[in-house]
Chain A
Amino acid sequence: MTTLAGTGTGTRSRFEELIAADERVEPRDEMPDAYRASLIRQIAQHAHSEIIGMQPEGNWLTRAPSLRRKAILLAKVQDEAGHGLYLYAAAETLGVTRGELLDALHTGRQRYSSIFNYPTLTWADVGAIGWLVDGAAIVNQIPLTRCSYGPYARAMVRICQEESFHQRQGYESLHTLAHGTASQKAMAQDAVDRWWWPSLMMFGPPDSASTHSSKSAAWKIKRHSNDELRQRFVDLCVPQAEVLGLTLPDPDLRLDEATGHYRHGEIDWSEFKAVLDGDGPCNRQRMERRAAADREGRWVREAAAAYHAKRKGGVPT
């Protein structure tokens, strides 16, 4: 195997031995700075995605079509907050504070998944997000339950268990719409048309252009390439769309008889780049909402801090 930590001396570090033996790295183990930095970047971006991801669906909480759907959606949005917390806690084991990570999000030094910069225009979008966006997230995240960093892998186990409900509730909701009135079916189809391509982009740039993949693979943070995971997702979705009675908006989508895989058409990577660079439909709106939530919740955190100081016998600042 290749030298990971750049020792170049021919002797393997304890870290390299752990990785080679497919064991987990734990917070107090020695690890290369680049491994630590790479994990902080990835886990933080993941955590930010969870809490920003509350916004598109939160948009429909007060307008859910029934009490049942509303209770389901509330539980789902609450889960996303919980996922954010598991992940921030995992990142903190690497020596950063939650405050630093949130500041990095608010100042744009760290990002969240570009998928959350698309708007939720109709109720059917909630279903499409559950089926496609959470479905893509699950395909991405299941291999992360075996990633080399213990706290991240353990957080992913909990998250994957909960995501399964997210995906199924979305699929059920879309299925109900797709078998309802003609206009309900049209609404479901429109949502799928708008979320399909951005969902494929969630797996990141093609392998030929991915900047982080090779190192992450050597460190066993990432166990499958972007294109492999995207293919797995497409293969799962095509028959699921057929059961829904909806179509996927890709005229080039076809079954490759030789391999048994569904081949999709060209992805518009210029759109992906534009959304990442801040020019998606909702980038500014999402960041403004996050900043407002942070600002409006500040008095609560301050009150809790004052109470904490008082209980500790110190003077509140």
Chain B
Amino acid sequence: MSEATVNARPENTAFDLWEVFVRARRGLSHQHVGSLHAPDAEVALRRARDLYTRRGEGVSVWVVPAGAVSASDPGEKEPYFTPARDKEYRYPTYYELPREVRGL
């Protein structure tokens, strides 16, 4: 291929990235399954169906613009999440019960 064709690919970078969520069955929540590029929500939904549900993997699909997702900082993981683990009394295993008690 010539260099001219090689560098002319603005059409791909222009598309937004969408995150795809699929509900496997009624009664379950939607789960993240992957991402795709699409020009708008309608096309993103159609592509999500073709790409992620070819074998009946779901009964409902969500697509969310990747830019709309706010995420915690992976570098801040320790200070952000550890405090909850310090509070052992929040876990049922913290409590010592008489051996003979049942149904607790």
Contact = CB atoms under 8 A, between A and B. Distances in A.
Q: Do A and B bind each other?
A: yes
Given A78-B54, A79-B54, A309 B12 contact: no
A153 to B, nearest CB: 12
Contact of A317 (B10, B37, B75): B10
A301 interface: yes
B15 to A, nearest CB: 6
Interface in A72-103: 75, 78-79, 82, 85-86, 89, 92, 97-99, 102-103
B75 A97 contact: no
Interface in A36-65: none
Interface string B59-93: 00000000000010111000000000000000000
B101 interface: no
B80 to A, nearest CB: 13
B11 interface: yes
B1 interface: yes
Contacts of A302: 11
Interface in A289-317: 291, 294-295, 298, 301-302, 304-305, 307-309, 311, 317
A30 interface: yes
A155 interface: yes
Contacts, number: 72
A288 to B, nearest CB: 10
A250 interface: no
B51 A82 contact: yes
A107 B14 contact: no
A82 B54 contact: yes
A304 B74 contact: no
Interface in A145-167: 154-155, 158, 162
Nearest to A86: B34
Interface of B is mostly: mixed
Given A79-B54, A98-B12, A107-B1, A305 B39 contact: yes
B33 to A, nearest CB: 8
Given A26-B74, A28-B74, A305-B14, A99 B39 contact: no
Interface in B1-26: 1, 5-7, 9-17
Contacts of A286: none
A89 B36 contact: yes
A309 B14 CA distance: 8
A106 interface: yes
A29 interface: yes
Contact of B35 (A30, A89, A99, A294): A89
Nearest to A316: B14
Q: Count chain B CB atoms within 10 A of each CB in A78, A85, A106, A302 and give the residue with the most.
A: A85
Given A82-B54, A291-B1, A103 B13 contact: no
Contacts of B6: 103, 106-107
A302 B10 CA distance: 9
A317 B39 CA distance: 15
Given A103-B9, A106-B6, A317-B10, 7 more contacts: A75-B54, A82-B51, A92-B35, A98-B12, A102-B9, A154-B34, A304-B39
Interface of B: 1, 5-7, 9-17, 33-37, 39-40, 43, 50-51, 54-55, 71, 73-75
12 contacts: A28-B74, A30-B75, A99-B12, A102-B9, A103-B9, A106-B6, A154-B34, A294-B5, A301-B11, A305-B10, A305-B14, A309-B14
